[in-house]
Structure 1
């Protein structure tokens, strides 16, 4: 019996050793990027952790800025440096311009027929053209100036009424962005409806969920058991019903509005694009625009409250330029260099999407001497790129807006060390729309008020602990006290 067990053990060891060397020889022959060990069936999924951008950054510190993982059956390239990001988003931009399939995106966004998530092809090119030329052109952005100014004024009125009392600044900022975007995109402040607010929260949470079936199809039943399938179906149906009502309001209205739904309906009626527009693609503009803009403002105020010297310098700049004015206009912010530096530094340390929406290769390509096959997903870790010591110096983990004052680095897709809105063909077309709101809102917050943390301040108030999900917010709401300066 002992002899038999010994033979079995030796045979098993020999078999495993042979498999190991076969695997190593195969990998060498295929010449793929470095990879951490993976488990059978699930691959490296167990290594993602609660905050994947942090877990992947730690792995990249060991395996390099171009690392190959496997999520179930799917090969995934993880990029953690600006130089490699440049090769993917510029040198090989067309090859990596598509998007992978995802059950969550398919169910929530109608088989991904929107600009952000649609596969690369003619439909996506036509939809992007409509967005760039019709919805998000500079002329269109300027036309909504009064909407931004009105909603910022309303926010400041709420702040003045609660002066000297702790207030939930996170709630104020999310209300501002949702009110502006709902008026611009939908024509009305639908965000005042309690049901819609809850619906948007549900949608945002689901976007950050993980679908086992997307990566391990034979385990798709787990999504059903965990209730993910049911939540996706219900949320998609509820949002469809709401958007149907929005369109009916527009069709039955007086026709004098000029919001995004009106524009899409007009393009659809004229059929000038030569293809059928799915106006419900407005969904990603409402959701994405609200969540990311609010996240940047929330993190900016968090860092300013944590660094009073930065807050004081920003207030001096804003108040000097706007001396004698009760509020900051969009013309005033043009010369506010420190304001722009604060926003850049916030997006460097706290990119709203720390892991860029995945790309997918559409053909075999050679990248940095490695062979990358068709169908490989690419995850670009913006959180890790923003902390590269080789780019940002030994103080890369510190909030220091001054580093941007004498720098030509911008966030509009030309400098790959700072690409919170992406780059290349899939760059976010709403950059100008988002940035002008963020700039003028922050300028008004520091111009009209002095800010401090509550006396009974706990670690929750000063913490930079992160939420989970696709868009990363503070884990705890930001409470602060405003003292009016007027």
Structure 2
């Protein structure tokens, strides 16, 4: 995963993760190596930023993820897009057509985050570029950026604009054109209707200024959009794709989820914020999916000063320290001998204190940089999976284990093709 002859230490013990993510947080930053490789795409956005830039963006965005905002602003938007997805799958089931669930989930989450974070209806036919152009450009930028981690001569390729670096330049240009369109449309709305009362993230940043009192420029707004697009689109779409895959592979788990759904909703009442909030098995399904298939499988940090981890490991300054949720979720020492098995029940405890430590189950990171959108991700995943399992049964077309595409997140390399069957009313 890493090149440049850098020293790399991978931490997997929860006590070491807690140390770098919380206890000695200030000594482990994103740093120049991460910025050099991902800065073209992420810029000064929250994923890439340290210090004051990170704190400002986190403080601004935190208002968007309150319980009230989740209930009143986000749940209705997500539910509307899920309803559209159900209609698409209903048509596919009628004609017996197979569908790529990963592609459909990427469209769902793109439209949801576009409306919630940027006040932009990306499903609007007048913005047809958004569904294909935006998503396609975003996927390409991630693919070619991730290649920098395994190509030892990527800097040379960048200098001469050849191979993947040339493709990356084109992809970033396409992405920037799409983002510029979002910003222009939002500014036009501000000129005519103002931004008072707008709850989306982009509007909040458009009303703010930097330390010198100058409003944030379009480059800064562009970085905000790209960072929250990857957070709100790719990560949740990946989790939903793997969730459907695991439920299709494990009919017993799917049956238990269906039982919980029917008891709470019956066959025709759609889920809401309140109903999914009380569904313990649905929550466990999402968590177990993320344990085995974390949307961000690894995350590097740069050690600023010589340090000693709790287990006695010496970390020289300049070392890249990686915590790896994908590895941690499969450790027998933490999860038992059945750690490779898909068992949602492991997340259903009798007491609140049975909930695993965020440094053991760290699919959303932990400490000061815990994912701001964690509760939104859980909400979107549960609203979607509950709606789909309530209405459909999914049968896998492929018989082999899906291969993983090497990007910043954890998508399936070839998508997830399934055959969808409408559940009978008597179910």
Name 1:481's counterpart in structure 2.
Answer: 420
Name 1:262's counterpart in structure 2.
Answer: 203
Tell me how far apart the structure 2 counterparts of residues 72 and 272 of structure 1 sit (CA, whole Å).
35
- Work out whether residues 450 and 485 of structure 1, in 8 Å CA contact, stay in contact via their aligned partners in 2: no
Deviations 1:183-206, CA, capped at 9 Å, x for gaps: 122222336423223212212323
Tell me how far apart the structure 1 counterparts of residues 52 and 269 of structure 2 sit (CA, whole Å).
49
Deviations 1:439-462, CA, capped at 9 Å, x for gaps: 111111111223334xxx4424xx
Of the candidates 196, 204, 219, which is equivalent to residue 142 of structure 2? Answer: 204
Deviations 1:301-324, CA, capped at 9 Å, x for gaps: 100000111101110011111126
- Within a 5 Å distance, the mapping from 1:69-468 to structure 2 comes to 71-102=3-34, 103-110=36-43, 113-118=44-49, 120-133=50-63, 135-142=64-71, 143-164=73-94, 165=96, 166-190=98-122, 192-193=128-129, 194-211=132-149, 220-223=155-158, 224=160, 226-253=162-189, 254-255=193-194, 257-268=198-209, 277=216, 278-280=220-222, 281-323=224-266, 325-356=268-299, 358-367=300-309, 368-406=311-349, 408=353, 410=355, 414-453=357-396, 457-460=397-400, 463-468=401-406
Tell me how far apart the structure 2 counterparts of residues 409 and 273 of structure 1 sit (CA, whole Å).
48
Which secondary structure does the structure 1 equivalent of 2:7 belong to? strand
Which secondary structure does the structure 2 equivalent of 1:209 belong to? helix
Change (3 A) 1:471 1:98: closer
Shift of residue 372 of structure 1?
1.8
User: What RMSD in Å do the two structures reach over aligned CA positions?
Assistant: 2.5
TM-score (norm 2): 0.86
Tell me how far apart the structure 2 counterparts of residues 167 and 382 of structure 1 sit (CA, whole Å).
29
Structure 1 or 2, whichever has the larger Rg, is 1
Runs (5+) with no aligned partner, structure 2: none
- Work out whether residues 160 and 484 of structure 1, in 8 Å CA contact, stay in contact via their aligned partners in 2: no
Shift of residue 276 of structure 1?
5.9
Runs (5+) with no aligned partner, structure 1: 1-47, 49-69
Tell me how far apart the structure 2 counterparts of residues 366 and 293 of structure 1 sit (CA, whole Å).
35
Change (3 A) 1:197 1:72: closer
Which secondary structure does the structure 1 equivalent of 2:59 belong to? helix
- Work out whether residues 18 and 367 of structure 2, in 8 Å CA contact, stay in contact via their aligned partners in 1: no
Higher relative contact order by CA 8 Å / sep ≥ 6: 1 or 2?
2
- Work out whether residues 3 and 149 of structure 2, in 8 Å CA contact, stay in contact via their aligned partners in 1: no
Change (3 A) 1:229 1:170: closer
Change (3 A) 1:298 1:359: same
TM-score (norm 1): 0.76
